[in-house]
């Protein structure tokens, strides 16, 4: 088990500096354009593929970093560049991780390469879980998958929403209910291959922020996929369902709680995204405060501005430390006895909203215009308190964990 450390090693620093250079030289100069266009930044994704950032190999290396700091470090640097473009670059990873975590070796080898394509013909993938009536309440999922034994096919019907890359993806990974009585324990994940009949994009959302990332509904109308598209295979699913039914009889409510615990390990990555956006806004505000003069001196010489910057930096550093702690705990199998994963995501996301708002205030009228990036960063920051569990859900998880109560 790796010791917890607050210092990156030489290899990690090298990767961090490489990512920072890409974010500064490629992502940030393109940020305003793709925010205005509200389109997927394919040229930037292709550049990321050419240098090796947009690839499964890169994310696997960071994911298996024994310190746990590879992923949060990478997320912070990319989202420092721009949240919308960064989400377009890392969004495929959500689907890829779903296959890695649940798929067979054959499924991993078959589908993940098709998610990324290659540097000359990049592809994206979509992970489809949320639904119009099942966001925070994952147990209320209505998309159904029914097995057609005669044809060895699964028939999937339902509507997914808030899907990053939904409808434009080469490969979709869809979470569906195969046994509604088991709630979230009765869910399974399915690969929807390219060109599958019955899958269509619903409405594309015009968003407040992260506008360079494509977000849309995915409609599944009698979608038929081969039995081989069930992640993990049917034998494994049947065994899991049998265990869940037995547990449901013995343990009741605790069956649902086990599923909720898995989210704790992924939330620090979102916290790291928020730290990157907050840090970017803080740096713009700091530079501005040093050079903007009023009443014959730089505005940073005024306590009203200097104290804001002091608070901003303190909150960012505190958020990063919470993220790093939770990430280290996750990779080393430490139990989240105080919902430390939710803590990191809650504090970091709220910090991003607060810091970006303070950055606008320090820049004054300039901060409110699109001539400066802080207004975009403020719009982008709002998503962190919503996706991967709202701030209200994080507080609920933390409170119920501390009280020793079931998490629904």
pLDDT the model gives residue 60: 86
Residues of the chain with CATH 1.20.140.10: 261-403
How far, CA to CA in Å, does 36 sit from each of 30, 138, 163, 288? 10, 33, 20, 24
Chain position carrying tokens 């009741």: 252
* DSSP H/E element including 153: strand 153-164
The residues, ordered by sequence, that sit 6+ positions from 289 with a Cβ below 8 Å of its Cβ are 298, 299, 300, 305, 306, 309, 362
The pair of three-digit structure tokens given for residue 113, joined into one six-digit string: 């390469």
Q: The domain 125-233 is classified under which CATH number: 3.40.50.720, 2.40.110.10, 3.40.50.150, 3.40.50.1100?
A: 2.40.110.10
Exactly one of 47, 131, 264, 388 is catalytic; which is it? 388
pLDDT the model gives residue 63: 86
Under CATH, domain 261-403 is a member of which superfamily?
Butyryl-CoA Dehydrogenase, subunit A, domain 3 (1.20.140.10)
pLDDT the model gives residue 171: 97
Q: One digit per residue, pLDDT tens: the chain, 408 residues?
A: 677 777 889 999 999 999 999 999 999 999 999 999 999 999 999 999 999 999 988 988 998 899 999 999 999 999 999 999 999 999 998 899 889 888 999 999 999 999 999 988 999 999 999 898 866 666 678 999 999 999 999 999 999 999 999 999 999 999 999 998 888 789 999 999 999 999 999 999 999 999 999 999 999 999 999 999 999 999 999 888 888 787 766 665 443 433 344 455 678 999 999 999 999 999 999 999 999 989 999 999 999 999 999 999 999 999 999 999 999 998 888 888 899 999 999 999 999 999 999 999 999 999 999 999 999 999 999 999 998 889 999 999 999 999 988 765
Residue 235 appears among annotated catalytic residues? no
Residues of the chain with CATH 1.10.540.10: 10-122
SS3 assignment for 266-301: CHHHHHHHHHHHHHHHHHHHHHHHHHCEECCEEHHH
**pTM for the full model?**
0.91
Residues of the chain with CATH 2.40.110.10: 125-233
Rounded CA-CA distance 240/383 in Å is 34
Q: Which of 51, 376, 24 has the alpha carbon at shortest distance from 213?
A: 376
Q: The domain 10-122 is classified under which CATH number: 2.30.140.10, 1.10.3470.10, 3.20.20.70, 1.10.540.10?
A: 1.10.540.10
């Amino acid at each position: 088990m790796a010791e917890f450390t607050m210092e990156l090693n030489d290899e990690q620093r090298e990767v961090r500096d490489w990512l920072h250079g890409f974010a500064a030289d490629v992502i940030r100069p393109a940020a305003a354009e793709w925010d205005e266009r509200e389109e997927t930044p394919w040229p930037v994704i292709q550049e990321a593929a050419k240098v090796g950032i947009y690839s499964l190999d890169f994310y696997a290396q960071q994911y298996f970093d024994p310190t746990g700091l590879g992923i949060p470090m990478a997320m912070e640097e990319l989202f420092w560049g721009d949240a919308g473009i960064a989400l377009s670059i890392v969004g495929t990873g959500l689907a890829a991780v779903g296959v890695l975590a649940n798929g067979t070796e054959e499924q991993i080898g078959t589908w993940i390469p098709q998610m990324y394509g290659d540097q000359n013909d990049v592809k994206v993938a979509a992970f489809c879980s949320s639904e119009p009536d099942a966001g925070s309440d994952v147990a209320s999922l209505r998309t159904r998958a029914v097995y057609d034994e005669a044809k060895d096919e699964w028939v999937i019907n339902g509507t997914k929403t808030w899907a990053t890359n939904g409808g434009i993806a080469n490969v979709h990974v869809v979470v569906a209910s195969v046994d509604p009585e088991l709630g979230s324990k009765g869910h399974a994940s399915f690969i929807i291959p390219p060109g599958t009949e019955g899958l269509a994009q619903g409405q594309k959302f015009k968003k407040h922020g992260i506008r360079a990332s494509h977000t849309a509904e995915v409609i599944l109308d009698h979608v038929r996929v081969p039995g081989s598209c069930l992640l993990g295979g049917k034998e494994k699913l049947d065994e899991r369902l049998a265990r869940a039914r037995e547990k449901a009889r013995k343990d009741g409510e605790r069956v649902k709680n086990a599923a909720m615990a898995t989210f704790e390990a992924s939330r620090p990555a979102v916290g790291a995204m928020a730290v990157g956006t907050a840090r970017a806004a803080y740096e713009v505000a700091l530079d501005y405060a040093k050079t903007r003069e009023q009443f014959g001196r730089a505005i940073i010489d005024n306590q009203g501005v200097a104290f804001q910057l002091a608070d901003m930096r303190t909150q960012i550093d505190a958020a990063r430390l919470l993220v790093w702690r939770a990430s280290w705990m996750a990779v080393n199998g430490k139990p989240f006895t105080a919902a430390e994963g939710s803590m990191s995501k809650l504090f970091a996301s709220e910090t991003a909203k607060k810091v970006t708002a303070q950055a606008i205030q320090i820049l004054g009228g300039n901060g409110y215009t699109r001539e400066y990036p802080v207004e975009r960063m403020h719009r982008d920051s709002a998503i962190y308190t919503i996706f991967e569990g709202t701030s209200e859900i994080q507080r609920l998880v933390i409170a119920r964990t501390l009280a020793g109560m079931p998490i629904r």
